[in-house]
Amino acid sequence: MKKVIIVLLILVALMAGTVYGLKAMGFTFAREHETQYEQFNLGEFTVNLCDEPRRYLRTQIVIEYVYDKESEQNLMQQEAKYRDTVINVLRSKSLEELEDVENIENTRKQLLSQLENVLGMEKKIVDLWFVDFIFQ
């Protein structure tokens, strides 16, 4: 019985030493890596809607994405692509479509999907908010 206890104590000491040594060398364990999210303001958009008579929408959009250096640089370097995508999606909508809460949610999902594709950020854009939403 004493031998089993001694062997267990030695194993526990070796495991503790290994963990301490790995942490001292900068190794991090999987559960210490929490996903970090950042918000990015896509800016303000003023677009004509597809209605007759002509109506327009002014909105500001913010996205939340899984942060890494590559994604951040990607967003900063591809302003023309994401602005064009947002403008095209919003211009295809009518005032009637944008007055309905369910349609606004569908538009939000459509923008999320198309932005992920255009920016090459599949599964990295996690949310999108309309900060302002004014139409006339």
For residue 127, give the amino acid letter: D
pLDDT at 52: 82
Euclidean distance between CA atoms 30 and 84, whole angstroms: 38
Dist. CA 86–CA 103, nearest whole Å: 16
Q: Which residue, chain included where needed, has tokens 């909105």?
A: 59
| Tens digit of each residue's pLDDT, the chain (136 residues) | 777 677 667 876 777 777 666 677 666 655 555 789 999 999 999 999 998 888 999 999 999 999 988 888 888 899 999 999 999 999 999 998 898 899 999 999 999 999 999 888 888 899 999 999 998 8
CA 98 from chain center: how many Å? 23
- pLDDT score for 21: 67
- The secondary structure of 2-71 as a DSSP string is HHHHHHHHHHHHHHHHHHHHHHHTT---GGG----EEEEEEEEEEEE-S-SS--EEEEEEEEEEE--HHH
> What is the pLDDT, as a whole number, of residue 3?
78
Q: What is the pTM of this model?
A: 0.72
Residue for token pair 């890494």 = 68
CA dist., res. 104 & res. 108, Å (int): 6
- Residues, the chain: 136
Q: What are the phi and psi torsion angles at 106 (to 5°)?
A: -65, -40
pLDDT at 39: 94
Residue 22: per-residue pLDDT: 65
